[in-house]
Amino acid sequence: MKYRCSVCGYIYDEDKEGVRFEDLPEDWRCPVCGEGKEGFEPMEDEEPAPVRAPEVQEAPSVEEGDLRELSAAELSALCSNLARGCEKQQLSRESELFKQISDYFWSNRVVPDHDGVASLLELIGKDLEAYPAAKDVVSSAGDRGSLRVLTWSEKVTMIMDSILTRYRDDPSFLQHTSVYVCDICGFIYIGDNPPAVCPVCKVPGFMILRAGGVA
């Protein structure tokens, strides 16, 4: 019997592990994302998921000029990504210039009033509510690129939600461990042995970089 983590997709295979899932201790956690046992679902015998008829939705109308203006922080991310793109093309001067513009926008960001982890969890909760509708919109438009980024960032956000909730409930869980971030999709891994392949974007493990460790 196999069990799949509903947060990151990690599969616990009873045959390979030699321990039945129900015999694992109650405080056992997903080795990839730290989700508890309750977040695992038994896998049926690989039956393909029933094809869900796409719900026909009245798409919200977007008026000219109705698109949300990019904030200074978003413009900073836009430009740091263009800097990365130039770097890949070996355009070092162009990359430097985009970094300069990115830094300018970051220095003009607005920091909202906040309550740290609690505020982050609140925003994350809203994001997780927004993903399904956003994915429907881009799917029906046939925009696979947007569907890709929404799929990846939804998974990364679910894992972040699970990690921050765990920290809020028991801050000591971060002691004596390292923290890694996938440099491609942003997947956060808590532990000392990051996976060989990123569970979200499938990039090789050497792109999962250590953010640091707490002794």
Partner 1 sequence: MVRMYASRNLRNCTKDCMCLYVCPTGATDTETGQIDFDKCIGCGDCVRSCPNGAISLIPYTYPPQQPKDDQCVAAVRAISHSKALQEAIAEDAMSTSDDPALFLLMKAVRRSNRLMGEDLVRETGYMLPQSGEVRRLLESLIANPPDGFPVEAARELLGLLRFTE
In the region spanning residues 23 to 52, those forming contacts with partner 1, defined by CB under 8 A, are: none
> Could you say which residues in the range 102-141 bind partner 1, by CB under 8 A?
104, 108-112, 114, 116-117, 119-120, 123-124, 126-127, 130-131, 133-134, 137-138, 141
Using the minimum distance from each CB to partner 1, give the nearer residue, 7 or 40.
7
Q: Can you list the alpha helix ranges (DSSP code H) found in 52-143?
A: 72-88, 92-107, 117-140
Using the minimum distance from each CB to partner 1, give the nearer residue, 42 or 114.
114
- Count of alpha carbons within 13 Å of 99, Cβ hemisphere only? 11
Nearest CA-CA partner of 159 in 45, 63, 57, 30? 30
CA distance to 34, 73, 114, 121, 123, per residue, from 110 (Å): 32, 8, 12, 19, 16
Shortest Å distance, C-beta 15 to partner 1: 34
> Could you say which residues in the range 54-83 bind partner 1, by CB under 8 A?
59-60, 62, 66-68, 70-71, 73-74, 76-78, 80-82
Using the minimum distance from each CB to partner 1, give the nearer residue, 53 or 62.
62
| CA 197 from centre of chain | 15
Shortest Å distance, C-beta 61 to partner 1: 9
Using the minimum distance from each CB to partner 1, give the nearer residue, 12 or 180.
180
Tokens 């982050």 locate to: 120
Q: Is 12 exposed, middle or buried (0-12, 13-18, 19+ CB in 10 A)?
A: buried
Assess 205 for contact with partner 1 (CB under 8 A). no
Three-state SS for 31? Answer: coil
Assess 160 for contact with partner 1 (CB under 8 A). yes
Locate 191 and state its tokens: 């532990």
Shortest Å distance, C-beta 177 to partner 1: 9
Assess 163 for contact with partner 1 (CB under 8 A). yes
Torsion over CA: 56, 62, 68, 69 (sign): positive
Among 183, 191, 203, 205, binds partner 1 (CB under 8 A): 183
Assess 193 for contact with partner 1 (CB under 8 A). no
